[in-house]
Homo-oligomer: A and B are copies of this chain.
Amino acid sequence: MISIVIGEKYYNKDPQSSDLGRNIVSTAVELLDELGFEQFTFKKLAERINSTEASIYRYFDNKLKLLVYLTTWYWAWIEYLIDFKTYHILDSEEKLKVVLKIVCHVDESRGSIDLDGLNLGALRRVVDTESDKTYLTKQVDEINSEGLFTGYKSLCHKIAVIVSDMNPEYKYPHALISTMLEASHQQAFFAQHLPSLTEVSKGDERSIDSQVYDFLLQSVIKLIK
């Protein structure tokens, strides 16, 4: 039994320390998935869990911070999966393939898996659609100076190291990986909502996830070599 632990700078009171806290987090994921970040409010969340706005504010300053907490949890989980599934792999290229599969959710068992009581399918959709909003705000520098983006940075760096390992001459390992991580969301989103922006297609016999994987793997490998 594993558990993702998130540092205290993300919240006022550790949501993992109480039933109410865990309930706030897991219900927030589902409500964000249903309503989207803009329509999501602490009031609605409070109603859903039969609690009050004031109680939720005791855990999180505001909904942006809650979103930052959730995305950090998500990236920490991805990083855990990477460590777990690649620690025995020696070949860098093989390692990179596994990493991209994890990032693109290829080979993932269907249905809504739960970990720490979180609906991972919903969390993934929330991250796909909303995670960019954690930094596309005038508060970026403030949030960043509090160290709240270290989860994403750490993941990006971990993968960039594999890239540098494959080709120490390659000039843009971090730029490449941040671009690819973003593309993994975007291409899946475009396939669903703006299909003319991508060849990745809902109608294809292969899943969207494996098409995105195909696109990213092919791109990354070719660029590094």
A residues sitting closer than 8 Å to B (CB atoms) are 35-36, 38-39, 129-130, 132-133, 135-138, 140-141, 144, 149, 152-153, 156-157, 171-176, 178-179, 182-183, 186-187, 189-190, 193-194, 196-200, 215, 218-219, 222-223
Contact = CB atoms under 8 A, between A and B. Distances in A.
A137 B35 CA distance: 9
B156 A175 contact: no
For this chain, the copies found in one complex come to 2
Contacts of A39: 138
A159 to B, nearest CB: 11
A194 B144 contact: yes
A148 to B, nearest CB: 11
5 contacts: A38-B138, A141-B193, A171-B199, A172-B215, A175-B198
Contact of A197 (B174, B186, B222): B174
